[in-house]
Amino acid sequence: MNGAQHPEMEREQVAPKRRLSDVDRDDSTPSSTQEPPAVRRRIEEGRSDEVHADTSEPEDSRSIRPPINDTQTALRQITQTQGKPPMEAPKGSEFFLRLPDVQAAKPRTVPFQQPSQLTTFSYSPDHVQEFTNSALRYYVDPPIGSNLSYGYERWIRAPDTRGRIDSLLKAVSKVQSDAQAHGGLPEIGLISWRGVMSKILLAPYEKFEGWELNVMMVNGTIYLEEHLSDEKLSKKNNMDERQRSQTYYGYAFESYCTSDTPPGQRQAQRTSPGVPPGWSGDVNTNVQWCSVVRTKLGDTRMIIGGEVDCVRGKYTGQTDTFVELKTSLAIRGQHDETKFERKLLKFYIQSFLLGVPEIVVGFRTPAGVITTVQSFKTIQLPRMVRGKPGAWDPLVCLDWGNEFVTSLKNAIRQAGSGEDAMTAVWRVKFTPGFGMNVNRLDASGIEDVVNGEDRVGFLPRWYWDEIRRERQKGPTLSAETMDKKATPMPPLANVGWQI
C-alpha cells in the first residue's frame, strides 16, 4: 500500500497522518485466504431449498437414535425433491453438506435484517454474569507509540473452557420473561453465540482451521454450541510464548482505547509513575460486556450474543455506537496489503452479525508498538476489496449460511420427531475445503457432551424445564402475529444494513 489509502474507504486518522500499518503476519489465528467465489452449492444428502414456516413438532415419538438407513432414506427424499440424484454420504456421517463451488456460479442474494438489541449483560472480574452495564467501556483515542507489551506479566487470563451457551440462554430467558407483557417474542429459529455464527459464515473462505459444533433442535429452534475436544482445549490453554504475546497485544490495545467513564464526565487523569499514558488498567479477560441481538437471515429469525469492546460517545441502548477493536502489523508492501484485505472478511462478518458499525484497527510494529490507528466503517469493507484478485464476497457467506441453517433444520426434522428427537444431539464437523459432516450422536457421545453436568444434551436442565413448560401451554402464535405485537424491527436489507 506504501502509505496510500483505499480510495473508497471511510476512515478516521486518530493520530497524525502516517503510513497505513499492515496486516499482522504474526496473528495466531490464520486469515481466510480462499480465492473468492461464486456459489451454487449442493448437499450430497439432505438438501432442501424450501423453508418451512411451520416449526411445530409432531407429537409422535421415535427411538433416540433411529436406524441410519431410515435417516439416509429421509435425506435422500429431500435431495430427490430437488430433482438431483442422491449421492453417497461420507462414511460415518448421516449427511454431508458440500462447501460452495467458489470458482463457479454466482451466489443468491439472501436478505439479512439489521440487528436490534434485546438486552446486555456483563461479566465481573470473577467472570460472574450480571444483568448490568458494569463492564461497558467508552472509546478514547489511544496514544501513538503505545507499547502493547506493557502489563503482560500481570495479565489475568480467563482459561478456555467448553463453549457453553448457558449465559446466552439466561439472557434469552430474561428477555422472554420481560416481553410477555408486550406480546412476547416471535418464534425464534436459531440461538447462537456470534463466534459460532461467524465460523459458519466464514467457512467457504476458510482454508486452515477445522471446527466442530453441537446442535439441538427443540420446539423448532436450532441451538448451536461449539464443541471443543480435550485435546483442543489443552492446546488453547497451553499456547507457546509467541502465541501468548500475540494474543495479549489485542487486549492491551483495548486498555489503551477504552475508559469506564463517558466522554463528558472524564477528568484529567494522573499517570502513576511507570504507567504509560492512556493505560486504563491491567488486562483481566474475565471482564466482558455482551450484547444480545435479534436479527434474521433469509427466513430464519435468530438471537445472537457476543462481546462488544466499547461504544463511541454515548451509549444509546442500541448497536449504533458500538466499536470493535483490532490490531494488525504495519503494511510493508503489496503482499501485506493483499493479506490485510483478506483478513478484513473476518472483521466484517464478526461486526456485521452483531450490528457493530465501526472497527478501529491499531497497526503495530513486530515489537508491539502502535504506529497508526484507523477507523473503518463496517458496511464499506466489501467495497474496499471488490474487483481485486482474490477478493471475498459477503453474499457468498450469507448464501452459504442461509443454506446451512435451512438444510440442517430440514434434515433434522426429517430424521425424526417427538420427545426423543428433542433430546437428540447432532455433531457438525467442518473440514476446510471440503464441507460439513453431520452425525447424530449416540448415547456415549451425548454423555461426553453432558460432561457430568445437570443437562439435557448440552442445554442446562433449568432451561430445558423452562421450554418444556412453555411447550405444555400449547402452540405459540405465528411469527407474523407476534411481530405485530412486539417492538418494530428494522427492514430487511440484502447486504450492508445502513447504520
- Convert 324-353 into a string of H (helix), E (strand) and C (coil): EEEEEECCCCHHHHHHHHHHHHHHHHHHHH
C-beta separation of 148 from 368 below 8 A: yes
- Give the separation between CA 481 and CA 479, rounded to whole angstroms: 6
8 Å CB contact between 394 and 32: no
Give a yes or no: residue 45 inside a domain: no
List the domain range (segments joined by +) for residue 158: 68-263+278-493
Could you tell me if residue 86 is inside a domain? yes
Nearest residue to 284 (alpha-carbon basis) of 130, 126, 120:
126
Q: Please state, as a whole number, how many other Cβ atoms lie within 10 Å of the Cβ of residue 128.
A: 9
- Is residue 56, in this structure, part of any structural domain at all? no
Q: Does 385 map to a domain?
A: yes
Per-residue pLDDT, 202: 97
Report how far residue 377's alpha carbon sits from residue 357's, in angstroms, rounded to the nearest whole number. 6
In a domain, 238, yes or no: yes
- What total of structural domains would you count in the chain? 1
- How many residues are there in the chain? 499
Beta strands at 426-431 and 310-311: parallel, antiparallel or unpaired = unpaired
Decide if 453 is inside a domain: yes
Q: What does pLDDT average to in each consecutive run of 10 residues of the chain (499 residues)?
A: 37 34 35 34 31 31 34 41 37 76 78 97 98 98 98 95 93 92 82 98 95 96 94 88 95 98 77 89 98 98 98 97 97 91 97 98 97 97 92 94 95 84 95 94 95 97 93 55 44 46
Instruction: Please state, in angstroms and rounded to a whole number, the distance separating the CA atoms of residues 247 and 254.
Output: 12
DSSP conformation letters of 228-283: --HHHHHHHHS--HHHHHHHHHHHHHHHHHEESS-GGG--PPPPPTTPPTT-----
Q: Is residue 397 part of a domain?
A: yes
In-domain check, residue 35: no
pLDDT score at 190: 99
pLDDT at 484: 44
Q: In what order do the strands lie in the sheet with 370-377?
A: 258-259, 138-139, 310-311, 322-329, 358-364, 370-377
**Sign of the CA dihedral with 149 first, then 260, 266, and 118 last:** positive
Q: What is the pLDDT of residue 94?
A: 84
Count other Cβ atoms within 10 Å, centred on residue 355.
Answer: 25
Is-contact 256 364, C-beta < 8 A? no
Q: How far is CA 400 from CA 32, 53, 153, 456, in A?
A: 16, 20, 42, 30
pLDDT of residue 105: 54
